[in-house]
Amino acid sequence: MDAIVTAVSRSATHSFSKTNRESIHLLAGLGVEGDAHLGTTVKHRSRVAKDPSQPNLRQVHLIHAELFDELEAQGFDVAAGGMGENITTRGIDLLSLPAGTRLHVGESAVIEVTGLRNPCVQIDRFRKGLMSAVLDKDNDGNLIRKSGIMGIVLEGGEVRPGDAVRTELPAGPHLPLQVV
């Protein structure tokens, strides 16, 4: 199966969930036009409180639709945009991508993967028990965060449901994603 965009979402406020849209416009070096996280420096409120001059490595949030399928099987009702992502994908294992992977989305947009989203207490406020459902452990006991990945916009453009997503891996050695 080819990787595709299944939904796009944005919110001008710092709400947990984002509203699905017909399209979103990515702006190079900034993020999603009209989204609260747009900008060259951090916009996430807890990060702004620590150091507002930090670079914004969280301009775009992506989640794989397969996570919603997994959560539904566990009894959770979570739709695209519900966990605050801007782009929902299907057919690509976002969590296994190395840092620096470039995602070519639609006709012209390019997103560079910067790291993992660290789920926070807001997830349980959204759906009770969801935090534990998006966290897991591997065979060695290491924490697995399943709540999506973050990226920066290298090249802007319109992104719509149905758009293709093509991955371009960075030159090796490949580094695993860390929380950003």
pLDDT higher at 48 or 131: 131
Token output for 47:
């990060």
Q: What pLDDT is recorded for position 108?
A: 98
Is the pLDDT score of 19 beyond 70? Answer: yes
CATH superfamily assigned to domain 4-168: PK beta-barrel domain-like (2.40.33.20)
The Cα 71–Cα 68 span in angstroms is 5
Percent of the chain with pLDDT over 90: 89
Does the pLDDT value for residue 52 go beyond 90?
no
Domain boundaries in the chain? 4-168
To the nearest whole number, what is the mean pLDDT of the chain?
Answer: 95
Q: Which residue has the higher pLDDT, 58 or 49?
A: 58
* Among the ranges given (14-18, 158-162, 163-167), the one the predictor scored with the smallest mean pLDDT: 14-18
pLDDT confidence band for 70 (50 / 70 / 90): very high
- pLDDT tens for each residue of 71-124: 999 999 999 999 999 999 999 999 999 999 999 999 999 999 999 999 888 899
Per-residue pLDDT reduced to its tens digit, 120-149: 888 999 999 999 999 999 999 999 999 999
Mean pLDDT of 41-61: 90
| pLDDT score for 93 | 97
Distance of CA 170 to the CA centre of its chain: 19
**Which pLDDT value is given to residue 44?**
81
Residue 1 has what pLDDT? 64
Sort 116 into a burial class: Cβ within 10 Å, 0-12 / 13-18 / 19+. buried
For residues 96 and 129, give the distance between their C-alpha atoms in angstroms, rounded to a whole number: 24
**75, 68 Cβ separation under 8 angstroms:** no
Token representation of residue 52: 């507002």
Kindly tell me if the per-residue pLDDT of 17 is higher than 70: yes
